[in-house]
Amino acid sequence: MSVRVAVTRLAHGRDLPLPSYATGGAAGFDLLAAVVEPVTLAPGARTLVPTGLAIALPAGYELQVRPRSGLALRHGIVLANSPGTIDEDYRGEIGVIVLNAGSEPFAITRGLRIAQAVLAPVARLDWAEVDVLDATARGAGGFGSTGT
């Protein structure tokens, strides 16, 4: 299934290719860093990385921004708010909040595949307030209550 999404390349991202799926079975596509100059991220530091893209999602969809596993494993580069959500009514630039959880400085260069994004349908809930919830075997147990 394919969903059409309108995209605008902002001035600082016009020379970068549009994101694409790396394989036929990929769930997400890579977002590229549209930094004008390289940014060196010290261990423990975070920054907002521009992508040079603004989008108009169709009603009923969100874009989830997620870390790239290779950057996380090799360099400790993660996203501070993972997954980030781009709402259907947001029209600003897609930005990626990157955190260096590694032990070495990390250089973010123009065109670096900095994050991945997944298009996802959104279901809206309709609250049904009740006095008592139905019982389950688990009940209110959480935070490790089901074992190790």
The DSSP symbol for 73 reads H
Our count of domains for the chain comes to 1
Q: Is residue 36 part of a domain?
A: yes
Q: Is residue 52 part of a domain?
A: yes
pLDDT digits (tens, 9 = 90+) for 37-54: 999 999 999 999 999 999
Q: Is residue 133 part of a domain?
A: no
Please report which confidence band the pLDDT of residue 148 belongs to, taking 50, 70 and 90 as the band edges. Answer: low
Residue 46's CATH number = 2.70.40.10
- Count other C-beta atoms under 10 Å from residue 115's C-beta: 30
- Count other C-beta atoms under 10 Å from residue 43's C-beta: 13
Strands (DSSP E) found in the chain: 6-9, 29-32, 39-41, 46-56, 61-66, 77-79, 84-86, 93-100, 106-108, 113-121
Q: Is residue 135 part of a domain?
A: no
pLDDT digits (tens, 9 = 90+) for 73-126: 999 999 999 999 999 999 999 999 999 999 999 999 999 999 999 999 999 999
Token digits for 32?
A: 């590229």
Give the span between the Cα atoms of 130 and 115, in whole angstroms.
41
Identity of residue 95: G
Q: Is residue 139 part of a domain?
A: no
Entry pTM = 0.89
Q: Is residue 53 part of a domain?
A: yes
Boundaries of domain holding 57 = 6-121
pLDDT digits (tens, 9 = 90+) for 70-81: 999 999 999 999
Q: Is residue 144 part of a domain?
A: no
